[in-house]
Structure formats: structure tokens, C-alpha cells
């Protein structure tokens, strides 16, 4: 169904479980060289992979914790607060065990806190390296509470890590009331993440907006959200893997027991399923009228109710199996057992209904054998069709898809979005976005696709420079608002410069004006009666607009090339690519030289060579294809990966936005700051830094810009005006 055809009350498919690919998640370790310079840092070690203990600790942090860095005093801290001392002791053990570092627990009696009825306990770990580790790996837990998200690493990890995270988070953010239980949070993003992570484990939930509360700090009303575990099966699974590890497990189990015979969750299937089941029931005279009102009101039916009535039909069909229809000789008995309408038999035999019953009573008539044969045929076709219908319905009912109703439909204009991309996800062309199962198209800017799905697509993107005009002396990654990790996935990047050129400018101006003239002639001929403009005048003017290759022909050409051409690379083409790749890599063999290209560029060369051969509809990738691609790639690299300071190619300009020469300058600058700080009690004057940097050939303005970048990145802070210290 097209999005524009959706109406209020329609059913939309949603996943009953996210089929995520689990893996062993490796973690990034902060630069040990930077950490070593802070001699006051206490002992700490970092895990290299995400395990269950760290997963539960992150659950505590995202729900009850606080990770922050104060630029004012240069202090960083990870803390978790709760009124339950057992939770605090568990969190304390997890921090000590995971990071092999010291912590302390703070106790605040309830008498010292306004409106409090319980004592508050807080486990604290003051550590800038620990803050750096959290920021580097789990940024979603280091922000303010209303902005928090579950880290992507949790979604990518094994189920046991996901479960431990949810156990820790439920101990902190868990709730239950008289009717339901689940998680509560003031972050809508975190609420969505809780729901998605539960769905990874086959636990369905829905998000309810709770009453607003007043923020003491910001003096304004904020919204709270509840992630409610819904349905007996989901509640039972939640209790089994999460709830049993919580002190409130008895209360949660009461919900599970109470929901056993209740169908008060939101697991309904569309009315179309009810219509199909009702037809099956009528076909075998099993209909009791249950579905009449449901169909009349266009309502859905609960999945378990649908399955119950479907099993009723299936049970009746099984009761017919002991009777081998080929051995049955009584047409009336077959008709009754298989519930075949008389008019159906009469229609096939071109007889009246009364004649059918007459033949049944008089099996010696000449039409009796033919009627027996027809009834058996009808019975077999009916049984086969019914079994196929049941199979199709069960495929939906027993699948990992459930349905939700559309509450409202509105047209959202794409103002502010330059592009909408058409994404094809093989093999079924479906994907999950914002909790819905969609088909064929998705706006990249809004796609929160959490599942790992098989997908492959060619992407053509366009971007304007951040400041309106391309700066040839600055890296491409610094000028385009796109993550370097994503930017590096493009095989080719070209810079389109608007540089004055009298010849090209004249040709462009002439083409634009002649195209306008052609349009004016066509409009005049079409709309002005008695126009003196002739058809030949219009045709002659239109030649400038008509492309050399018509779009339909070009589309067919490309489609044929993609579908039918699978070129094989010749050995001389392969040798030429290897020679080119090794030649570039050889430039980086010197210790102080940048890395010109990576293995990703070699893969790009192969893809481009295959594309070149496909354009020629050739089954072979020749050396001419290789030479053509090398010319294109060299041109591209000179535009976006050429370091003007060194005169060499540097892949880091694309992948990180910072060339090796720039990195070396930052390294020298850090050394200058470190030396001055050692001479002046730990702090370095910015004026002294600029003077020493100028002595080593740095430009003062460039030094000031580098200092600003270091402060922005958190590597440098300013305890007092004009004096800095390395983090």
C-alpha cells in the first residue's frame, strides 16, 4: 500500500522481534600516551570487549547514573545513585571489577534531603581516563538524562549482554503500578531504545506518555515516558530473563499469572484475517457468528482468538482424514462430510438441485457414477484450497510480524531536505524504520534502522561546502558536514569549482538563453491563436534541449548492463591495478610519510573497472578499462586527498579530515604545552606557547586556531584566563 493511501484505522505491520546479528563487541581504549602525562591519574585499566558485567553497569548508568566532565575545574566523574544499598554495592563491585580502580560510596541521610523518606547512596569514581573511555565507546550514556540513548554496542552484542543491561536498567528505571510494569524515563529516545532492545529479545512493549513534571533546574515542565511490557507471552518472557533478578519479582509474576487468561494486550491482526477465517468456518458449517460484529465494525481480532478459530477448522479437516475419499461410494455421505453445497454440484453437472438429490436417492441412474466422480473432485479441491488458506493465515499469525492501527494520517512536506534516497534491501525489499516494516523507499535523514539487514546500493550524493565555497587548503572532511567514516565509503569524490573561464562561461550562457528561447517559442505556438511561430521553428529551437541519448534508451541500456553483463578481469588489467596500487603505497614507506591510500581504494578500483566494462557491454575487463579508471581515480585523489604542505597523497584527509602533517603539528604543539607546564607548576601560558611555537616555524594565528581545536576536542582546558593544561 502506498503511504498516501493509508487511512485512519488501517493496519500497519510492525516487527514482533528484531532479527539483529549478534557479535563480540570490541572496545576502543583511550590513548595511553596521553593518559600517562597526567601523573596524578589513579590506577585504572580498561576492558577490550563488552561483557555481561559491563552491560549491567551501563544499565545502571543509563538509568541512575551520571557521567560528566567539568571544564571549569578539570574534574571528571562517573557516579550512580539509588536508595537501595544492594544496587549501589553491586554497581561498586562492577566498577572495581571491570576497571580495576578505586571508588567510594557516599551516604546522604533522608533527613538532609527535602521531601525524602529514604537515605540516598552514591557510588563515585573520579577519573578523567574513565570519562574518556565512556565518551569514546558509550557516548549515549554521557549526555543529560533527557537526551540519553542505549549505546549501539549494546544492540550489536550477544543476548546475554543485552539481558544484563536491561536487568541493570530495570533496577534503576523499572516501575510497576496496579495495571502494568516496565521502564520509565524522561528521554523519548531512550524509551524508543528500551522498546527496541526488548524487541530484540522477543519482548513486545508500547510507549505511553506519562504526566508532565516540573524540572527544578530548568524551571519548566518536562514529559516522562513509560515503556510498558504488553501481552502474556512477553510478560512471561520478561519475568523469566529479567524480572527474576529483581527484588520486585513476586509482583511482576502476579501480572504474568493474571494475564494468563486475559487478552488485553494489543496483539491484533487485520480484519482481512477475520474475513478469511469466517469464510472457512462457513464453508464447513462451523460459524457461530462471533466474527459478524468484528467485520461489520472493521475491527481487528486478537491473534490468539484468530488461532483458536483457525484450529477449530483445522481440527475438523483432520477428522476427515480417516475417511479415504477414493474408497467412498456414497455421494450423499461425501457431500455431507465435506459440507459441499448442492448448487455447486448442480452447476458443474448442469442439473437442477432437485435432480442432484434424486440421483443421490437413486444410485442406479446413469448419471450417478459421473456425479460421484464430480463430488469427489469438488471435495478434494475444497480441502486443498482450505489447507492452503489455513497455511497462508498461519504464516501471518505465527510470524514475527504484528500489527498496529494508524491513529492519524498527515502529509509531511520535505522542506529542508535536498534529497530522498531510494533504498532497495535484498532479498525482500523490506526494512524496519522507526518501528514499522516498510517497503522500497526511506529518507536517509530519518532512518533509525537498528536491524542488520543484507543491503547493497549505489549512492550518488551531493554536498555544498560548509562555508559556501570550497577551500583548496583545507581537507574535504572538514568542509562537508558528514562523518569521515561515512565519507570514506564513497569510491570517488569530485570537487565542482565555479572558476571564471571566458570560453566555458560563454557556452553555458548561450545554452541557457537558447533553451529559454525554445521554451518561449513552444509556449507562444501552443497558447497564442494565429501564432506566426511554425512547427519547424519550434523543432529547430528544441534541438538544443533534446539529449544525444534519450532517457528511456539510457535507462534500458543501464538496466541491461546491470542485469546481463558480469565481466571477468584480464590478467594484464589486474597487473596494471596492482602496479598502480603498490606505486601509491610505496610513497608511504618512509617513516615520516603519510599513508597515500588504503585497501578500500583497491576495492574501489576493481568496482570501477567492472563498471567501465559494463558500460561497453563487455564480458572482459581490459587494460584500457584499468587505465581509464586510474586516470579518474588520480584526478579524484588530487582534488580531495592531496596534502599541499607535503606535496603527497594522504588518505587521512578523507578518512579523518586531518592530514599526517597536521597531526604532526598537533603532536609538536602538545609537546610544547607539556614542557612549559612542567616548568610552571602544571599550567602553560598561551602567550608562551605561541612564542615557542613560532620559534619552531609555526604561524601565530595557526597556533591559536590549533589551541581552540584542542579545547573543543576536550584535550585541553583553561583553568584560568590565558593559562591552559592538557586533559
User: Cα-flanking dihedrals φ and ψ of residue 15, to 5°?
Assistant: -75, 145
Q: How many angstroms separate the CA atoms of 63 and 214, rounded? A: 19
Residue recorded with cell 601560558: 685
pLDDT score, position 647: 56
245 CB-near residues (< 8 Å, 6+ apart): 167
pLDDT score, position 443: 36
Q: Is the pLDDT of residue 277 over 90?
A: yes
Q: What is the signed CA dihedral for 675, 680, 685, 688, rounded to 10 degrees?
A: -60
Better-predicted residue by pLDDT, 211 or 172: 172
Q: Is the pLDDT of residue 628 over 70?
A: yes
Q: Which three cell numbers stand for residue 167?
A: 536487568
Residue 216 burial (C-beta neighbours within 10 Å; 0-12, 13-18, 19+)? exposed
Q: What percent of the chain has pLDDT over 70?
A: 81
Q: Is the pLDDT of residue 211 over 80?
A: no
Residue recorded with cell 461410494: 329
Question: What is the b/e burial string over 431-449, where b = at least 16 CB atoms within 10 angstroms of the residue's CB?
Answer: bbbebebbeeebeeeeeeb
Question: Beta 213-215 vs 220-222: how paired, if at all?
Answer: antiparallel
Per-residue pLDDT averaged across 491-516, rounded? Answer: 85
Q: How many angstroms separate the CA atoms of 698 and 691, rounded? A: 9
Per-residue pLDDT averaged across 544-552, rounded? Answer: 85
Per-residue pLDDT averaged across 117-134, rounded? Answer: 93
Q: Is the pLDDT of residue 649 over 70?
A: no
| Cα three-residue angle 656-660-664, rounded to 5 degrees | 120
- Do 375 and 348 form a contact (C-beta atoms < 8 A)? no
Per DSSP, what are the bridge partners of residue 228?
182, 206
Q: What is the CA radius of gyration of the chain?
A: 36
300-331 pLDDT, tens digit each: 888 888 999 999 999 999 888 766 888 888 99
Per-residue pLDDT averaged across 380-391, rounded? Answer: 91
The DSSP call for residue 597 is -
Per DSSP, what are the bridge partners of residue 724?
684
Nearest to 667 by CA among 625, 710, 624, 630: 710
652-681 pLDDT, tens digit each: 555 555 566 666 677 788 888 888 888 877
Better-predicted residue by pLDDT, 452 or 510: 510
pLDDT score, position 81: 95
Q: Is the pLDDT of residue 136 over 50?
A: yes
| Averaged confidence pLDDT in the chain | 82
| Cα three-residue angle 281-283-289, rounded to 5 degrees | 35
Domain 660-726 top-level CATH class: mainly alpha
DSSP run (H or E) holding 167: helix 159-173
The DSSP call for residue 441 is B
DSSP run (H or E) holding 612: helix 599-615
> Domain boundaries in the chain?
32-258, 268-401, 502-546, 660-726
Q: What is the signed CA dihedral for 191, 194, 198, 199, rounded to 10 degrees?
A: 60
Q: Which three cell numbers stand for residue 545?
A: 534541449
- CA 216, 217, 223, 226 dihedral sign is negative
429-442 pLDDT, tens digit each: 455 555 555 544 43
Per-residue pLDDT averaged across 335-362, rounded? Answer: 90
Per-residue pLDDT averaged across 200-224, rounded? Answer: 75
223-256 pLDDT, tens digit each: 889 999 988 888 999 999 999 999 999 999 998 8
Q: What percent of the chain has pLDDT over 90?
A: 35
Per-residue pLDDT averaged across 709-724, rounded? Answer: 77
Please compute, for residue 539, the number of CA atoms within 13 A of its CA located in the half-sphere on the CB side.
3
Q: Is the pLDDT of residue 295 over 90?
A: no
Q: Which fold has domain 32-258?
A: Endonuclease I-creI (3.10.28)
Q: How many angstroms separate the CA atoms of 684 and 716, rounded? A: 11
Amino acid at each position: 500500500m502506498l503511504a498516501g493511501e493509508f487511512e485512519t484505522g488501517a493496519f500497519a505491520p510492525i516487527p514482533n522481534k528484531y532479527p539483529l546479528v549478534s557479535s563480540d563487541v570490541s572496545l576502543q581504549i583511550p590513548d595511553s600516551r596521553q593518559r600517562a602525562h597526567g601523573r596524578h591519574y589513579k590506577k585504572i585499566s580498561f576492558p577490550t570487549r563488552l561483557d555481561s558485567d559491563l552491560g549491567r553497569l551501563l544499565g545502571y548508568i543509563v538509568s541512575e547514573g551520571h557521567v560528566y566532565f567539568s571544564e571549569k575545574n578539570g574534574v571528571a566523574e562517573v557516579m550512580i545513585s539509588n536508595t537501595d544499598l544492594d544496587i549501589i554495592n553491586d554497581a561498586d563491585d562492577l566498577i572495581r571489577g571491570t576497571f580495576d580502580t578505586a571508588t567510594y560510596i557516599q551516604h546522604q541521610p533522608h533527613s538532609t534531603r527535602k521531601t525524602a523518606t529514604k537515605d540516598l547512596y552514591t557510588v563515585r569514581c573520579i577519573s578523567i581516563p574513565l570519562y574518556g573511555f565512556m565518551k569514546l565507546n558509550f557516548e549515549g550514556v554521557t549526555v543529560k538524562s533527557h537526551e540519553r540513548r542505549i549505546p549501539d554496542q549494546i544492540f550489536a552484542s550477544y543476548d546475554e549482554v543485552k539481558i544484563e543491561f536491561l536487568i541493570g536498567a530495570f533496577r534503576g528505571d523499572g516501575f510497576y503500578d496496579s495495571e502494568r510494569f516496565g521502564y520509565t524515563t524522561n528521554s523519548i529516545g531512550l524509551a524508543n531504545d528500551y522498546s527496541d532492545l526488548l524487541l530484540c529479545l522477543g519482548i513486545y512493549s508500547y510507549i505511553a506518555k506519562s504526566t508532565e513534571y516540573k524540572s527544578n533546574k530548568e524551571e519548566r515542565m518536562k514529559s516522562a515516558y513509560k515503556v510498558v511490557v504488553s501481552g502474556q507471552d512477553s510478560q512471561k518472557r520478561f519475568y523469566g530473563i529479567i524480572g527474576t533478578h529483581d527484588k520486585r519479582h513476586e509482583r511482576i509474576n502476579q501480572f504474568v499469572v493474571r494475564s494468563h487468561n486475559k487478552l488485553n494486550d494489543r496483539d491484533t491482526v487485520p480484519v482481512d484475517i477475520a474475513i478469511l477465517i469466517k469464510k472457512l468456518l462457513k464453508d464447513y458449517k462451523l460459524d457461530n457468528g462471533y466474527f459478524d460484529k468484528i467485520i461489520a465494525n472493521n475491527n481487528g481480532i486478537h491473534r490468539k482468538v484468530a488461532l483458536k478459530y483457525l484450529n477449530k477448522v483445522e481440527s475438523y479437516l483432520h477428522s476427515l482424514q480417516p475417511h479415504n475419499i477414493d474408497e467412498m461410494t456414497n455421494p450423499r455421505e461425501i457431500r455431507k462430510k465435506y459440507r459441499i453445497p448442492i448448487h455447486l454440484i448442480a452447476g458443474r453437472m448442469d442439473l437442477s438441485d432437485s435432480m442432484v438429490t434424486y440421483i443421490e436417492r437413486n444410485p442406479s441412474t446413469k448419471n450417478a457414477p459421473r456425479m460421484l466422480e464430480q463430488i469427489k473432485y469438488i471435495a478434494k479441491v475444497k480441502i486443498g484450497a482450505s489447507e492452503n488458506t489455513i497455511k497462508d493465515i498461519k504464516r501471518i499469525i505465527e510470524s514475527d510480524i504484528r500489527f498496529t492501527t494508524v491513529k492519524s494520517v498527515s502529509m509531511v512536506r520535505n522542506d529542508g531536505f535536498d534529497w530522498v534516497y531510494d533504498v532497495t534491501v535484498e532479498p525482500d525489499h523490506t526494512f524496519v524504520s522507526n518501528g514499522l516494516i516498510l517497503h522500497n523507499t526511506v529518507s536517509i535523514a530519518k532512518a533509525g534502522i537498528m536491524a542488520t539487514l543484507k543491503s547493497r546500493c549505489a549512492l550518488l550524493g551531493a554536498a555544498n561546502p560548509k562555508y559556501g565555497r570550497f577551500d583548496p587548503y583545507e581537507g574535504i572532511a572538514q568542509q562537508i558536514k558528514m562523518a569521515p567514516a561515512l565519507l570514506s565509503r564513497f569510491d570517488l569524490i569530485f570537487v565542482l569549482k565555479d572558476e571564471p573561464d571566458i570560453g566555458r562561461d560563454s557556452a553555458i550562457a548561450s545554452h541557457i538563453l537558447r533553451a529559454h528561447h525554445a521554451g518561449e517559442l513552444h509556449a507562444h505556438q501552443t497558447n497564442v491563436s494565429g501564432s506566426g511561430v511554425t512547427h519547424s521553428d519550434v523543432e529547430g529551437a528544441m534541438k538544443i534541449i533534446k539529449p544525444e541519448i534519450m532517457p528511456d534508451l539510457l535507462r534500458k541500456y543501464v538496466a541491461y548492463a546491470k542485469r546481463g553483463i558480469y565481466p571477468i578481469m584480464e590478467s594484464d588489467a589486474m597487473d596494471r591495478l596492482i602496479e598502480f596500487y603498490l606505486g601509491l603505497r610505496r610513497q608511504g614507506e618512509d617513516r615520516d610519510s603519510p599513508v597515500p591510500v588504503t585497501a578500500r581504494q583497491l576495492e574501489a578500483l576493481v568496482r570501477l573497472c567492472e563498471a567501465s566494462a559494463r558500460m561497453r557491454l563487455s564480458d572482459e575487463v581490459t587494460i584500457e578499462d584499468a587505465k581509464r579508471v586510474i586516470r579518474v581515480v588520480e584526478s579524484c585523489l588530487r582534488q580531495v586527498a592531496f596534502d599541499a604542505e607535503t606535496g603527497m597523497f594522504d588518505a587521512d584527509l578523507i578518512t579523518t579530515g586531518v592530514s599526517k602533517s597536521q597531526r604532526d603539528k598537533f603532536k609538536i604543539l602538545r609537546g610544547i604545552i607539556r614542557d612549559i607546564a612542567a616548568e610552571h607548576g602544571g599550567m602553560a601560558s598561551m602567550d608562551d606557547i605561541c612564542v615557542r611555537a613560532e620559534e619552531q616555524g609555526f604561524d601565530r594565528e595557526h597556533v591559536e586556531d590549533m589551541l581552540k581545536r584542542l579545547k573543543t576536542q576536550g584535550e585541553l582546558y583553561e583553568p584560568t584566563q590565558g593559562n591552559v593544561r592538557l586533559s
